[in-house]
Amino acid sequence: QVRLVESGGGVVQPGRSLRLSCSVTGFTFSRYTMHWVRQAPGKGLEWVSVISYDGTVKNYAESVKGRFSVSRDTSLHLHMSSLRAEDTAIYYCATTFYSGAGWNFDLWGQGTLVTVSS
């Protein structure tokens, strides 16, 4: 079964760090470009980051640049540092699996909630 499963969310104090992971089952992870997308409570979707299939190309939204770092090994990771209240959101990993050539996401995880609060 093709599946993405996020983990690592929780409550963290402002200024601290947190690492999210996204594990993959049912397909060859190393062939796919992966993205992180977040959604603040009651708000819309916000693209966060992309990493190429081989990990050589990465990019970030301006709102997280310099604070977040994406990586991959056998899973996808998002290292978040200098966290702010406005980083509070459900974080989804996502990819293009069946449809299109990229930058559209037909495979999503269930999301993991990050709450930044003192």
Residues that bind another protein (CB under 8 A): 35, 37, 44-47, 50, 59-62, 92, 98-106, 108-111
**What is the nearest approach in angstroms of another protein to the Cβ of residue 76?**
15
What's the full length of the chain, in residues?
118
Tokens linked to 81: 């540092």
* CA 55-57-106 angle, 5° bins: 80
**Sequence-ordered list of residues with C-beta below 8 angstroms from that of 61, at least 6 positions apart, any chain:** 46, 47, 48, 49
The residue among 99 and 118 lying less far from another protein, judged by its C-beta, is 99
Residue 64 Cβ, how far from another protein at the closest point, in Å?
11
Question: Which string of b and e fits 84-98 if b means at least 16 CB within 10 Å?
Answer: eeebbbbbbbbbbee
Nearer to another protein, 10 or 103 (CB): 103
Q: How far is the CB of 57 from another protein (least distance, A)?
A: 8
> Of 35 and 72, which has the nearer Cβ to another protein?
35
In whole angstroms, the minimum distance from the beta carbon of 67 to another protein comes to 16
Residue 14 or residue 102: which is nearer to another protein going by CB?
102
